[in-house]
Amino acid sequence: MAKLYFKFGAMGCSKTAQALITKFNYEERGMKVLLLKPAIDDREAAPIVRSRIGLQAPCVMVPDDMDLLQYYENECPGIDVIIVDECQFLTPEQVDQLGQVVLDHDIPVLCFGLSTDFMTHLFPGSKRLFEIAESITEIKSVCRCGAKATVNARFDDEGNIVYSGAQILIGGNDRYEAMCRRCWQKRRKEQELRGK
């Protein structure tokens, strides 16, 4: 029986690489994969999922108003599995639609993404996945101190950690670093003492 999977972790934990490896494993067994990525992640000029270690594959870009159940039913005959990268940017409604694909069509849906933003608040798409996914797995990441990283620290142009602002700011190593909460809080206190 198919499931809705949520595989989450902090920045740099290899979520995208694992999504692409999973895609390869299905295809190696002769199965057809639909690879999706929310359109808000516009770092690439082409519709592509690319990992930091260089793996990449073409994908379908998903705007906020795309009905994923309808898209699957109308555009995806013969698809055996759906894989979603950057799933935190899906709307809660789109997560529900993917859950319905699992129930109505017995197709596994594997969602890879962040759970929380730079302020440690859940993304709406991730929140919904925690609520309805049949399988939830954490992909671990490591802070510079060696502890488990759980915070996606956002940095400004001067290298200071940012503690307020819009939830979404697309970026990679240029803007974010995975940290443990202890190091994140320590940096916050140091910045407050410096008046930053």
Question: Domain ranges in the chain?
Answer: 4-138, 151-194
Considering the four listed CATH numbers 2.30.31.70, 1.10.760.10, 3.30.365.10, 3.40.50.300, the one that applies to the domain covering 4-138 is: 3.40.50.300
Looking at residue 100, its pLDDT comes to: 98
Catalytic residue among 27, 75, 86, 134: 86
Phi, psi dihedral angles at 84 (to 5 degrees): -120, 125
Phi, psi dihedral angles at 134 (to 5 degrees): -80, -20
Tens of each residue's pLDDT in the chain, 196 residues: 899 999 999 988 999 999 999 999 999 999 999 999 999 987 777 899 988 888 999 999 999 999 999 999 999 989 999 999 999 999 999 999 999 999 999 999 999 999 999 999 999 999 999 999 999 999 999 999 999 999 999 888 888 888 888 888 777 777 889 999 999 999 988 888 887 5
Looking at residue 96, its pLDDT comes to: 98
- Report the alpha-carbon distance of residue 9 to residue 60 in Å, rounded: 23
Looking at residue 43, its pLDDT comes to: 77
Q: Where do the DSSP E strands lie in the chain?
A: 4-8, 33-38, 48-50, 56-58, 60-62, 81-85, 109-113, 135-138, 151-155, 161-162, 176-179
- Report the alpha-carbon distance of residue 142 to residue 147 in Å, rounded: 6
Annotated catalytic, 177? no
Q: Where do the DSSP E strands lie in 122-184?
A: 135-138, 151-155, 161-162, 176-179
Q: Do residues 18 and 112 touch, judged by C-beta distance below 8 A?
A: yes
Looking at residue 196, its pLDDT comes to: 59
